[in-house]
A and B are shown apart, each in its own frame.
Chain A
Amino acid sequence: MPGAVPDEAEEDELSLGLAGLLFAQQTLESALEAVVDIVAGTLPGVDGASLTLPAQESGFRPPVASSAPLRALDDLQYRSGRGPCVEAFTTAREVGSELPSDRWPEFSSLASGIGILRVWSSPLRVRGETGGALNLFWADEAAAARFSIEAARVLAAQTAVVVANAHELADAKFHNAQLRHALETRTVIGQAQGVLMTRQGIDAPTAFDVLRRASQRTNRKLHDIAADVVASAAPDPTET
């Protein structure tokens, strides 16, 4: 199935952007807003993104979205209690749908009004707990059809950890380069796990185990092993 998986340059941009924002932004709100801006601006074909995050006591935090119309769309969901983003959070399941949909009449009406034709929401899970939802929006049905759900899932998993630690990262006195390096290596190791999972029919934890055993056997850092695995899976540019 063809998929608009982010290419290497786009993934670099995403990683560098996420790393940079966590050091530079002064408040949690602005850091979260930057997360959705980077996601929306980097993933091919996606026209907008938002984060659904629970408030401390009840309900939801004010909408965090990549544009004003999407903020209004999320706000409507929070007030009506109905919509794909709310559903993904409350059920802890992915919700994807073409729009309009009879499931969420208020949401669908406003979404259609601002040209949104498809939505995909994924719960942000950390250690089995749902800490929010990442929501992607498309105005172009063809672009939505080309998008790789696997890439979106990887992105949601990465976003979950970043969001779960946003307070800590924003407060910590890490050097920008340290954060950048961590998010870069995380991406490479995730890619290597994906290659091994496909090749060997194993799950992600087992793929990590394969990498760490190779690291131990050869006394090389895990990232270096992972980079070799990723390189071995890259198409040969000299082949046509």
Chain B
Amino acid sequence: MPVTDPGPLAAALTVLGLTVEQLWLDSLGLGGNLEVADVRDFLTGNKGIAELDYDVLVQAANDRFVDIGGDHPLAYADEL
């Protein structure tokens, strides 16, 4: 089932000071297959994305949290 709520991820970007393009580039580095426009549309609430794609974006953000001493604060799709 597609994930349609961008709220937690959008909030994480604000906390991390991360742009949509940076998040997308991080997701590309994790093997993600979304295009920048997909990420932008999801984060603005205009489009749902598959659970796997959501998990890749969440992982990209959670990796950034690990960099600053966090411990995977964002929930993955199966934890929503």
Contact = CB atoms under 8 A, between A and B. Distances in A.
Contact of A208 (B56, B63, B66, B71): B56
B62 A216 contact: yes
Most chain A CB atoms below 10 A, which of B21, B59, B66: B59
Interface size class of chain B, counting residues whose CB lies under 8 Å from the partner chain:
20 to 34
Interface residues of A, number: 30
Interface string B8-42: 00000000000001100110111101111110000
Contact of A215 (B33, B52, B72): B72
B59 A215 contact: yes
Given A165-B36, A182-B25, A209-B55, A190 B62 contact: no
Nearest to A217: B72
Contact of A183 (B29, B37, B55): B29
Contacts of A168: 35-37
Contacts of B67: 221
Contact residues of B: prevailing secondary structure: helix
A181 interface: yes
Contacts of A222: 30, 59, 63
B37 to A, nearest CB: 8
A126 interface: yes
Interface in A183-240: 183-186, 189-190, 193, 205, 208-209, 212, 215-216, 219-223
A178 interface: yes
Contacts, number: 69
Interface string B40-66: 000000000000100110010011001
A216 B70 CA distance: 11
B29 A212 contact: no
A127 interface: yes
Contact residues of A: prevailing secondary structure: helix
A187 B34 CA distance: 16
Contact of A185 (B30, B34, B35, B76): B30
Contact of A164 (B30, B35, B63, B71): B35
30 contacts: A126-B33, A127-B33, A127-B34, A127-B35, A127-B38, A161-B28, A161-B33, A165-B35, A165-B36, A168-B35, A178-B22, A178-B25, A182-B28, A183-B29, A185-B30, A186-B29, A186-B30, A186-B31, A189-B29, A189-B31, A205-B52, A209-B55, A212-B59, A215-B62, A216-B72, A216-B76, A220-B66, A221-B67, A223-B29, A223-B30
Interface of A: 126-127, 161, 164-165, 168, 172, 174, 178-179, 181-186, 189-190, 193, 205, 208-209, 212, 215-216, 219-223
Given A165-B36, A186-B28, 18 more contacts: A126-B33, A127-B34, A165-B28, A172-B21, A174-B25, A178-B22, A178-B25, A182-B29, A183-B28, A183-B29, A186-B29, A189-B30, A189-B31, A208-B55, A215-B63, A221-B66, A221-B67, A222-B30
